[in-house]
Structure 1
Amino acid sequence: MPLHRLARPLLAAALLVATGTASHAAAQCGGDFQAFLDGVKQEAIAKGLSKRAAERTLKNAQIDRSVLARDRAQGVFKLDFLTFSKRVISQNRMDHGAKNMAKWKRVFDRAEKDYGVPAPVITAFWALETDYGGFQGDFNTVNALATLAHDCRRPHLFRPQLIAAIEMVQHGDLDPATMTGAWAGEIGQVQMLPEDIIKFGKDGDNDGHVNLKQSPADVIMTAAAFIQNLGFRRGEPWIQEVSVPSSLAWEETGLDRPKSGADWARLGVKPRSGKISNLPASLLLPQGRKGPAFLAYPNFQIYLEWNQSFIYTTTAAYFATRLGGAPVYTPGNPDPGLDDGQMKQLQTKLRDLGYDVGKIDGILGSGTRTAVQDVQKKLGMAADGWPTPELLGKL
């Protein structure tokens, strides 16, 4: 099933705040739904879109209560890296990915030539988002966007997407009656929002339209253009599995503590395959010092832009290396982690100690990892950022 995300709306929100329009958009929510739609139509027309396209898009729009239920209940991955990655990187997905890269090789070659993004990077997202187009979501896109734009939780995120959907209708790339996708309005085989489709959509099969639901060529070229815009650097690695010495200073690990590849090599870090690049790299230990270890290079940042979940991003980046020929990771023998209740208990204790762990939600996010690493160091434990029952007991 699709792995939905809101990374793109969050980026859109940042842009809205920067231009001072977020508060204006936020005021245009709630109340009578038809009056709300009339306001959206007038805004679209004021932006230069046709009255006909706006009316066609919105005339049958309605609130979808199931979208609101999904929005209220959405969660971030609570599975650990080994469990999640084993679940989603199946042999079937590996085989299907290899077949797709061979079948669409000319398109992938063109995408890499034009945008610098290699086939395995695109293919991993293609697999994880919709299983190569097999599960794209069955929510009516206009209803989903209208529902979330009308809802006063985050109208500044979704109202621009609804207007962008009108523009897609005007281009002939969206049928409001039949277009379906994810509950948050993402469309197509790599699950992109309307604003991003308009900005980065590419007609890979030269039929005059951008069809991310049915055209693999459009999917591949559009994904490449979008990933390039996220900051992907041509010809550079993104992640690499490594082995680490038991004597490593674990407090030096983590996304916010990069070193040059040469420095990591001097500390005894060794590649599982290939050579360590001398680019800046952070040492990631998704399940602590006894689990798999990866060097994350600058290109890893595009994964964090695509999806804010550390487990998803690390899995997607690792999956891309596998599609590119890297060996299966060495799982190691990680210390047991915490269950949901224990994680919430740990977060509460860390919060009481003055750490900013965000919401007490049982999720091992960046704030919790950073706090865990600091507390481990203060307690004289291996500061690898992996919370264990031993740590919880000491607190």
Structure 2
Amino acid sequence: MFMRLARVVRSFTSHLPTLAVAASVSIASITSPLASTSSFVAGLWPEAQAMGVSRQAFEASFAGYSPNPKVMELTRKQPEFSQTVADYINKRVTGSQVGRGQRMRSEWAQTLAGVEERYGVQAEVVLAIWGMETNFGSFMGGNNTIYALATLTQNGYRESFFRKELLTALRIVSDGHIQPSQMTGSWAGAMGHTQFMPSSFMQYAVDYSGDGTRDIWNSIPDALASTANYLRAHGWQAGETWGYEITVPNGFNFEQAEQAGKLSLAQWQALGVGRTNGRAFPRAGDTAEFYMPAGATGPKFLMLRNFDVIKRYNNSNSYALAVGHLADRILGTGGFATPWPSGDFALNSSQRADLQRLLSRNGFDAGPVDGRIGPKTRAAIRAYQRHVGLPVDGYASGLLLTRLR
């Protein structure tokens, strides 16, 4: 979501959260001259006042403030993502996590039923996001949100974005939703049980408990309802799932499937696609997109509209698949029918370049050796796969690199 820069750093996905665009900012922007803290804070007041922030809330929020060097260190610690989708999901969707989600479902059954009735979002999906974001509230980040956002702004890191988030956070305090000392979250300003950025809080947080405040830090009902409200606002389809694990026929054209975009389930069925459990698709007119996160030998999926809605929370296929899978597991379904390829690993840029070099050396022109898997490299992979009798999926995997070596 445009709410969770911190998870970008932890997961290092190439799938950035919608709000987490700050992760792409060049390090050069961090080195801008640092204004003195007192003049920086003083310079914020006219803007804060114009946004309706009271002087009392402003002064309370900045009491004891000084830039936090650890926050700036975290902006620089953004190594390349080197984790397969299987690793990402297996780390986050565990038996322990599923069990805890089921216990939370029982503990908060009345709240979840009310939230589902009001917003039309399945309780298990809300639980899965809660579990993914903060492990059901067990770790919501230990940073003072005002201090963290002020540090990022003062140091010129994506200054326009974080300045707006900082001013919005000040307004949240001024409106009485939370005391500044209790407004804690990630180093990038994501807050509460389900990690809203301040701007998301202002737009989508709700007072489900009816106490006059929208408290996503201390009120689990408010946090869960706010998450459901966010999903509904972004197009959640009530009564529908996120997607289906599928089987494909022998000789299936994976390239064509990936390029097809959204087709109706009836059209996918005409291409030989079926559900792994053998059941019919409930609504043949629903549109879905083909997703193959681990190549032809791994699990394959048709992703529905709700999958895209989950990605509005965090623009990551891995994240959305993990949320959907965790929701299904909390509901009581089993794991994926197709196992993940054994021994596979994600390629870093050096390994991708090595793959390109080896393909070209073997007579399959992969284009420039730049570590970027583009159309030319994928075409070379497919040509190599045809040549040696492998499934032709164009997937750049660790297993493929090992074979070429």
Same fold (TM over 0.5): yes
Is residue 2 of structure 2 the alignment partner of residue 9 of structure 1?
no
Deviations 1:206-250 (A, max 9, x none): 222222122211111000011112221222221211122232101
Q: Indicate which of 142, 147, 151 corresponds to 1:143.
A: 147
Is residue 284 of structure 2 the alignment partner of residue 275 of structure 1?
no
Q: Indicate which of 243, 262, 269 corresponds to 1:265.
A: 269
Deviation at 1:345, TM superposition (A): 4.2
> Given residue 300 of structure 2, which amino acid in structure 1 is its aligned partner?
A
Q: Indicate which of 144, 150, 174 corresponds to 2:178.
A: 174
Structure 1 segment 203-282 matched on structure 2, within 5 A: 203-254=207-258, 257-273=261-277, 274-276=279-281, 277-278=283-284, 279-282=286-289
Deviations 1:336-385 (A, max 9, x none): 34543413545899998379x9xx6xxxxxx8476654443455644534
1:386 corresponds in structure 2 to: 395
Deviation at 1:178, TM superposition (A): 3.7
Q: Indicate which of 321, 343, 358 corresponds to 1:314.
A: 321
Is residue 353 of structure 2 the alignment partner of residue 353 of structure 1?
no
> Given residue 4 of structure 1, which amino acid in structure 2 is its aligned partner?
R
1:20 corresponds in structure 2 to: none
Structure 1 segment 326-365 matched on structure 2, within 5 A: 326-332=333-339, 334=341, 336-340=344-348, 341-343=350-352, 345-346=354-355, 353=367
In structure 2, C-alpha distance between the alignment counterparts of 1:187 and 1:218, rounded to whole Å? 13
TM-score (norm 1): 0.83
Deviation at 1:38, TM superposition (A): 1.6
- Cα separation, partners in 2 of 1:347 and 1:42, compared to 1, 3 Å: farther
The number of residue pairs the alignment matches comes to 372
Deviation at 1:284, TM superposition (A): 1.1
- Cα separation, partners in 2 of 1:162 and 1:299, compared to 1, 3 Å: same
- Cα separation, partners in 2 of 1:205 and 1:77, compared to 1, 3 Å: farther
Cα RMSD (Å): 3.2
Q: Unaligned stretches of 5+ in structure 1?
A: 14-25, 361-366
2:306 corresponds in structure 1 to: 299
Could you tell me whether the CA contact under 8 Å between 2:194 and 2:223 is conserved in 1? yes
- Percent identity over paired residues: 26
Is residue 362 of structure 2 the alignment partner of residue 376 of structure 1?
no
Deviation at 1:64, TM superposition (A): 0.8
Could you tell me whether the CA contact under 8 Å between 2:215 and 2:222 is conserved in 1? yes
Q: Unaligned stretches of 5+ in structure 2?
A: 9-15, 24-29
Q: Which moved more, 1:139-148 or 1:57-66?
A: 57-66
In structure 1, C-alpha distance between the alignment counterparts of 2:306 and 2:374, rounded to whole Å? 22
> Given residue 303 of structure 2, which amino acid in structure 1 is its aligned partner?
A
1:363 corresponds in structure 2 to: none
Deviation at 1:94, TM superposition (A): 0.9
In structure 2, C-alpha distance between the alignment counterparts of 1:184 and 1:113, rounded to whole Å? 33
In structure 1, C-alpha distance between the alignment counterparts of 2:33 and 2:169, rounded to whole Å? 18
SS in 2 for 1:113: helix
SS in 2 for 1:208: coil
2:206 corresponds in structure 1 to: 202
Could you tell me whether the CA contact under 8 Å between 1:112 and 1:119 is conserved in 2? yes
Q: Which moved more, 1:125-134 or 1:330-339?
A: 330-339
TM-score (norm 2): 0.81
- Cα separation, partners in 2 of 1:83 and 1:338, compared to 1, 3 Å: closer
In structure 2, C-alpha distance between the alignment counterparts of 1:76 and 1:100, rounded to whole Å? 34
SS in 2 for 1:246: coil
